[in-house]
Structure formats: structure tokens, C-alpha cells
Amino acid sequence: MIKILILSLTLLFVSLEAKPAVLEKQSVKATRRILKEINWKKIQKSLEEELNFGAASNIPYYNCSAEFPELPANFPCSFLTEDSGKDGPVSLDTMDGGKISLRNSVTRGVMGGLVILVSGEDDDAKSAMKLFYKKDNYISHYLFENKLTVFLWKKEKGEPTLKKIYILSLGDSKEPNSISRVKL
């Protein structure tokens, strides 16, 4: 049982198919603009929020295609929506990934949607990934170690479309040390 869980977690955090993210470092002026664009104050509140989580459940996850940039913790594309694994892969070209254990928040978070906790071996906080969703069920951001990955969506023809991804390196006080934009 433990070997299966470790194998599942290893499959989640190791993806050989995704392309490495191309990062663009931002200037101080651009950093201020980006913090406003991503609504940093609201994201910061979500990181500080205390939530209760339900029981763990095992769900399938789907890796991203080679065209999607590799993100911290090798982010699986099935986590782009809150419906992770319920109805199969999202519309992006995805590949089977395996099964993973996760826990949903009991209540909705500051961002308006659920918060999902994906734990690593022995529930080690350093290897946990915390996913924050908006009220439209699309991911707002996720935290893995000291990296915060933020997704910016825009509605096109009634459907949310991913427009930008930023990766923020956070310091001990959870303040951004640097911001990079991921080329899509």
C-alpha cells in the first residue's frame, strides 16, 4: 500500500513529457504592475487563510502535453479546473498520469472556489502542493515549496482561456522575491 502511494506521488511530481518553462524576469516597475494585475493582496490573503480539509480521496490525474510549459511540481493539466479527474482530461491535449490522493477544503476559500491539498510522502509540508480555485472552478494559483504559480484567464466566446502564467519566488515571510512570466 505504501509503495503504491509513493509510486503515485512520484508519477505526479515527475513528468518527462512537458517542455521546460521559458521564464522572463521582470523589472521592478513591471513587478509592481504584475502584482496589481494578479491581485496580489487577495492572493496573499488566500495563502494566510486557515481552512479545514476533508478526507483524502484518490482520483486520476492527467499530465500536460509537450506543448504546455513545465511548471513547479510538474503541474498536471487536470488540475486546471476544480473538477480534477471527475470527467476525464480538460480540453488541452493531455496524457494519462495515474492516480493521486488529495483533500478538498470543507468550505470555499478567499478566491471563491475550493482549495485542494495534494500531499507528498508522509504528509511532509515541504512536498505538499496547495491549489486555489476561483468561483468559476478554474485555478487561480498554487503553492509548491517557495514557488507560487499564478494563472490569468480571459473569457473568449464564453469560455475561459489561459492567457498568462507567472511564477513568484516567495521569501520566508511569503512576500515575492522575484516574478517571472512563463511563455505560453
CA 117 from centre of chain: 10
Work out the angle at residue 77's Cα, subtended by the Cα atoms of residues 71 and 81, and round it to the nearest 5 degrees.
Answer: 115
Pairing mode of beta strands 176-182, 57-64: unpaired
Given the C-alpha cell 491549489, which residue does it identify? 131
Please give the average per-residue pLDDT across 149-167, as a whole number. 94
Cell digits of residue 65: 502535453
DSSP three-state, residue 111: coil
> In the prediction, which pLDDT does 138 show?
95
| pTM, entire model | 0.80
How far apart are alpha carbons 184 and 23 in whole angstroms?
Answer: 10
> In the prediction, which pLDDT does 84 show?
60
Residue 184: band (very low, low, confident or very high) from pLDDT cuts 50, 70, 90: confident
Please give the average per-residue pLDDT across 32-58, as a whole number. 94
> In the prediction, which pLDDT does 17 show?
39
pLDDT single digits (tens) 60-106: 888 888 889 999 988 888 899 987 645 444 444 445 667 788 899 99
